[in-house]
Amino acid sequence: MRVLSVTGFFSAAKRPAATTADDDGELVYGLTPASHLLVGSSSLTPFLTLMLDGVFVSPFFGLGAWLQRSPAPDRSLFEVTHGHALREMGDGDPAFGELLHEGLVADTSFIMDVVVKECGHVFQGVSSLVDVAGGLGTAAQTIAKAFPHVKCSVLDLRHVVANAPVGTGVDYIAGDMFESIPSANAVFLKWILHDWGDAECVKLLKNCKKAIPSKEEGGKVIILDMVVGTGLSNPQHKEMQVLFDLFMMFMNGIERDEHQWKKIILEAGYSGYKIIPIAGWILHDWGDAECVKLLKNCQKAIPSREGGGKVIILDMVVGAGLSNPKHKEMQVLFNLFMMFMNGIERDEQQWRRLFRKLDILVITLY
C-alpha cells in the first residue's frame, strides 16, 4: 500500500486521533482517479489482470537474447517463449482463453464508452458498419446501442462467430479479413492494424476500400488505434505510448507514428486521412495556462464554427448536475483527488474564465 500510495494509485492520509495526544491517528487509504478505473461497472481490472499474467510478463525476460539473435528471428518473442502465437494459445488453453476474452472485453467496453461520447460524429450519416475482427461484438453492440440508425455487423473467423451471442442486434459474419470484407457504409478497425506489419496492413486496407462506397458517397474507414507522438507532451503520456510500442513488438506488432500511418494509408490507395484525438478527462490535469495553450492548438486544428468545427470536452463542471448530497460529495472528492496531483475540477465560472482567454463567446454546458 505504501508503494501504491507513493506512485499515486491510492491516496494516504492520517485520520485525526480519537484518544490520546500520543496517538498519531490511523493511516487511511483512499481511491484516486487511477484506482477508480479498477472499480465499478466499467472496471479495467480484467484487462490489468491479463497484462500482469505470467503468460504476458514472462516473454520479456528473454527480450535481450531475442534481440541479439542473428539472423533476426522470424517468430515473435511471444511465440519463441510459448511456442504459439497469442490467439493460438487462447484457443488451445481454455483458462488463458477466458482470461484473454475478459481482458479484451473490459478494454473495449472502456474505450468504446469514450468513443461514442467524444467522437460520435464520425458515425453520423453512416447507415451500415462492419466491425472487422470484432470478436463477440462488444464494440459493435456499443455502436448499435448509441446509434440505432446504424446496422452493425461483425466479421471474424468461423470458430469465433460460432460462439457469438444472440439477441444483440448485431449480425455476425464468418470470414477472413485478408480475403474479403462485407460491403458497408463504414468499416471499423479497433486495435487491429497494430498487430500487423505494413504489407498485411496495406492488403487489409485495400480490402476495406473495396467494401465501402466512395468518399463522395459517404464511405469511410474508421480506425481506432494509437498515433505515437500525438497528444499531450507530458512524460506519463509519452511513457505509455512507448511502452505499448514495446508490448506490441513482442507480438510482432507495431505502434505507428503519423508518418508511418500515412505511408500505409496512401499505399493502400486512399486519398487522405483525418486524425481525431480522444482526449477525455484531460483539462482537469492542468492549470489554466496549460489548458489555454492546449485549447489554442485545438482551435488551430478544426475549421471555424460556421464551418462545423467543434472541440468536445468530456470533463466535470462542479456544481452542475444533480443536487443530491451523494452527487455533490462525488464532485468535491474528485476535486480533492485532482488537487493531490496538481489538477483541478472547475465550476462553470472557472470554465468560462478559461474560455474567455481563447475568445470563445458561446459555451454550451450539458
Residues labelled as active-site residues: 194
Sign (positive/negative) of CA torsion 30, 34, 35, 41?
positive
Q: How many CB atoms lie within 10 A of CB 19?
A: 7
Place of cell 463542471: 317
Closest Cα to residue 255, out of 271, 268, 238? 238
Return the C-alpha cell found at 52. 500482469
CB 185 within 8 A of CB 213: yes
Return the C-alpha cell found at 90. 487462447
* Helix (H) / strand (E) containing 11: strand 10-14
Peptide bond connecting 303 to the previous residue in cis, omega within 30 degrees of 0 = no
Place of cell 500510495: 5
Task: State residue 208 phi and psi, 5-degree precision.
Answer: -60, -40
- How far is residue 264's CA from residue 261's CA, in Å, rounded to a whole number? 6
Burial 121-137 (b: 16+ CB within 10 A, else e): ebbeebebbbbbbbbbb
- How far is residue 311's CA from residue 292's CA, in Å, rounded to a whole number? 13
Whole-number Cα distances in Å, 142 to 134, 226, 246, 319: 12, 20, 29, 30
- CA–chain centroid gap for 212, Å, is 25
Task: Determine the length of the chain.
Answer: 366
- How far is residue 67's CA from residue 126's CA, in Å, rounded to a whole number? 45
- How far is residue 190's CA from residue 184's CA, in Å, rounded to a whole number? 16
